[in-house]
Amino acid sequence: MTGLWVLLAVLAAATVLGFLLRGRDGRVQHRKPVADLPAQVRDLIDPASPVTLVQLSTTFCAPCRHTRVLLSDLASKTDGLEHRELDLTDLPEVATSLKVLRTPTTVAFTPDGAELLRVGGVPKRDVLAEALRPHLA
């Protein structure tokens, strides 16, 4: 009987943890800017655009493909917004420097390299568009 209670407790804890992690997916977060932006990222930022979305991906990341389509579409329909992608598969030092723990991670940068916001996982289109609106006006 004790084993049954332990099993139920583990299942309940795993369920709660799953819902907590799922709730964080796609949320817009505001972070402290990175002191020294890696050259690979700095080269992707469009100096003529108010906001550049840099998608940090890896080769075998299925959600990265969905994110690529979503961000490309959003950028094509939004004035002043550019989308670039960086594959971190062979660049672990860039991931470490940007404190990227999962892919896809989308980071919005100003032309001078200041981080505006970041999204871990597949962004929610409407939430991201709303968060970017003040920076595109």
Q: Which residue has the tokens 């920076």?
A: 135
Q: Is the pLDDT of residue 51 over 90?
A: yes
- The structure tokens listed for 134 are 């003040």
User: Residues 6 or more apart from 105 whose CB is under 8 A from it?
Assistant: 55, 56, 98, 118, 119, 120, 121
CA atoms within 13 A on the CB side of 41: 32
Phi, psi values for residue 60, rounded to 5°:
-105, 35
What is the architecture of the domain spanning 27-136? 3-Layer(aba) Sandwich (3.40)
Q: Which residue has the tokens 């020294």?
A: 36
- The C-alpha atoms of residue 70 and residue 110 are separated, in whole angstroms, by 20
Domain parsing of the chain, residue ranges? 27-136
- The structure tokens listed for 2 are 């004790």
Query: Taking the model in full, what pTM does it have?
Result: 0.77
List the one residue out of 115, 105, 134, 92 whose CA is nearest residue 24: 105
pLDDT tens readout for residues 89-137: 999 999 999 999 999 999 999 999 999 999 999 999 999 999 999 998 7
